[in-house]
Amino acid sequence: MSLHTETLTVNMGPQHPSTHGVLRVVLELDGENVVTAEPFIGFLHTGIEKTAEQKKWQQIVPLVERMDYLGPQSNSLAFCLSAEKLLGIEDQIPERVQYIRVLIAELQRLSSHLVWFATHAMDIGAVSVMMWAFREREQLLNMNEMVAGFRMFPSYMRIGGLREDLPRGYKEVVKPFLEKMPGKIDEYEKMLTKNQIWIKRTTDIGFLSKEDTLALGLVGPMARAVGIGYDVRKTFPYSKYDTFEFDVPTRTAGDVFARYQVRMEEMRQSVRIGLQALERISPSGPYDCGDYRIVPPPKDRVYTEMEALIQHFLIYSQGFNVPKGDAYVPIEGPRGEQGFYLVSDGTNRPVRVKSRPPSFYSCQALPKMVIGGLIADVVAVIGSTDIVLGDADR
């Protein structure tokens, strides 16, 4: 008498808290073993790219910040750099502005990696670590509030520069934080890196080969965990990154533990870059390119309050025209290469706004990483990809 067996199809998500948003993965199981896996991401779609095509150029910054909502200021930096290339003003951006942008971008990377670390550790069971990581992230959100009055989506980046100068006392808040941060990272790693439970839940789990990584177009920590040292800040430098001293951490194991190691070291490198940027930012100076067709003049450069109001109205209500053409300037966001392909027809609105979202590519790698493994490991694998569904389903 033969025993009849069959596989079981189950939905993991989108209600599952460990899927980091609204990802639904349809799993076919043979017992506890994953036979097939199919990710579905179409449950969030915000239509931000198409909405942006109906907005004036400066009005798009708050929109793109809400795509990857854990790396908003990386998004806005990528958009501004592409728009500035279209305008032909990339050489007019003052060094001081570029150093401030670098500082903001690295603080944003720290903030994003802390959320990844907190939620990833919690998914696997390390709840205390989540509380520690959010303790430091709270301070980073306070810094956002200092520069712009908003914690999550500051919209501080502007085409042509920054919205305003750094507030008084900002550097005095950021520097002690960065100086203490390496000790905090040591504290995190002391809890996990040699913890036998953590090692067993992450080592040889979610393996991805170098060949599959290249074939799937994966970037950022996902690629660096298999030994691919691609980092836009080194390969295609922007915002004076070629003048900063920092390393690109890599590992070769290609598993969940390797991706954890890469991101922990990336946080240390962000601290290193941030401290260098702080030293280079002069106490006073320009915070935009000074082209008043694009950015409104500060109040001390106009004769009357009425003139200032008129200039602001012209810039933010009527907008400015961008020459015909297209441009793509990538940056190294928290999840890897992030960029915006922009097309202009010469008017005050773009014809096309298209994002290159690293999270989308990571989603398509899920089947490669979970098939053949256990269902209990799927959560650990998803967490290790650090996907943000707002980035994937725009």
Tell me: the pLDDT tens digits for 274-285? Answer: 999 999 998 888
The predicted pLDDT at position 175 comes to 93
Are the CB atoms for 394 and 45 separated by under 8 Å?
A: yes
Residue 300 has pLDDT above 80, yes or no: no
The predicted pLDDT at position 230 comes to 93
Q: What is the mean pLDDT of the chain?
A: 87
The predicted pLDDT at position 227 comes to 93
The mean-pLDDT minimum among 145-154, 194-203, 247-256, 369-378 falls in 145-154
The predicted pLDDT at position 226 comes to 94
Q: Which domains are delineated in the chain?
A: 8-392 (1.10.645.10)
The predicted pLDDT at position 306 comes to 65
Residue 116 has pLDDT above 70, yes or no: yes
* CB neighbour list of residue 51: distance below 8 Å, 6 or more residues apart: 63
Terminal-residue alpha carbon distance, the chain? 54
> Which token pair is 126?
């390390």
* pLDDT level of residue 86 (50, 70, 90 thresholds): very high
Q: Which residues pair with 27 in a beta bridge?
A: 10, 37
The mean-pLDDT minimum among 4-13, 250-259, 274-283, 329-338 falls in 4-13
The predicted pLDDT at position 322 comes to 86
The mean-pLDDT minimum among 174-178, 350-354, 356-360, 390-394 falls in 390-394
Dist. CA 129–CA 366, nearest whole Å: 25
CA-wise closest residue to 328 among 83, 154, 162: 83
Q: What secondary structure letter does DSSP report for 194?
A: T
Dist. CA 393–CA 44, nearest whole Å: 6
H-only helix segments in the chain: 48-52, 61-64, 72-87, 95-124, 127-148, 170-192, 196-202, 210-215, 220-224, 232-235, 256-280, 305-313, 358-364, 366-370, 375-385, 389-392
What DSSP assignment string belongs to 275-335?
HHHHHHS-SS--SB---TTTSPPPGGGSSSHHHHHHHHHIIIII-----SEEEE--EEETT
Q: Which residues pair with 338 in a beta bridge?
A: 331
The mean-pLDDT minimum among 33-37, 77-81, 294-298 falls in 294-298
* pLDDT level of residue 199 (50, 70, 90 thresholds): very high
CA-wise closest residue to 129 among 187, 205, 70, 181: 187
